[in-house]
Amino acid sequence: MCHFCSLLFQPCMSYKKSGSSRPSSQAGIIMKTLVDHLSQYAAYHRDSRNIVTHFVGIPLIVLAVAVLLSRPGWNISGLWLSPAALLALGSTIFYLRLDRALGIVMAVLLALCLWAGANLAQQATMVWLSAGVGLFVIGWIIQFVGHYYEGRKPAFIDDLTGLIIGPLFVVAELAFLMGQRKALQHAIEERVGPVGRATRKATT
């Protein structure tokens, strides 16, 4: 494993059985931790086939949203300012507050999506709209194939925060595959169990 990856995914906090895995209180509001968010999302994603589909589906959906929300936009000093840029900025702040290393990775990936979205937004309307809608539909089809294997509905149906945690979950799972963030992986698996092959079951 390259030294760069080790530095990039180096944990910024420890995950013990008590203490850091508990929600913290800021200004009287209970704030969920990284482990809380990822564990809640992971509970809907324990089948390895479902996780693999998310490696494809979620990036397509994020890119689609960046494309579709890049209009209306304004080119100011070479920067394309749009609703997509505001959404990416807010999301990046949220990710960085949860975890600095993973937040930096998300910031880079979102910047790439914004770049692609800005370029497509400046094309003919049919090109822009077809690309955005096409990516969005394909991404969700792939997602629902994964949840067919899982035998569970998508996480966002029960909690809309799943929509913003999904991309972070994908980055975290890729880090786990590269042998990084073992403490985080262990903390999640302690709560929701390891990844495996689920026996498909009907949901109610």
Q: How many residues make up the chain in this entry? A: 204
| Alpha helices for the chain (secondary structure H) | 3-8, 34-42, 48-68, 83-98, 100-121, 125-150, 162-177, 182-192
**Structural domain spans, the chain:** 33-192
Question: Phi and psi (nearest 5°) for 40?
Answer: -60, -40
Phi then psi dihedrals of residue 140, to 5 deg: -70, -30
User: pLDDT tens digit string along 94-144?
Assistant: 999 999 999 999 999 999 999 999 999 989 999 999 999 999 999 999 998
Query: What pLDDT is attached to residue 16?
Result: 45
What pLDDT does residue 134 have?
Answer: 97
The predicted structure's pLDDT at residue 28: 36
CA distance 59 to 109: 9
pTM of the model: 0.78
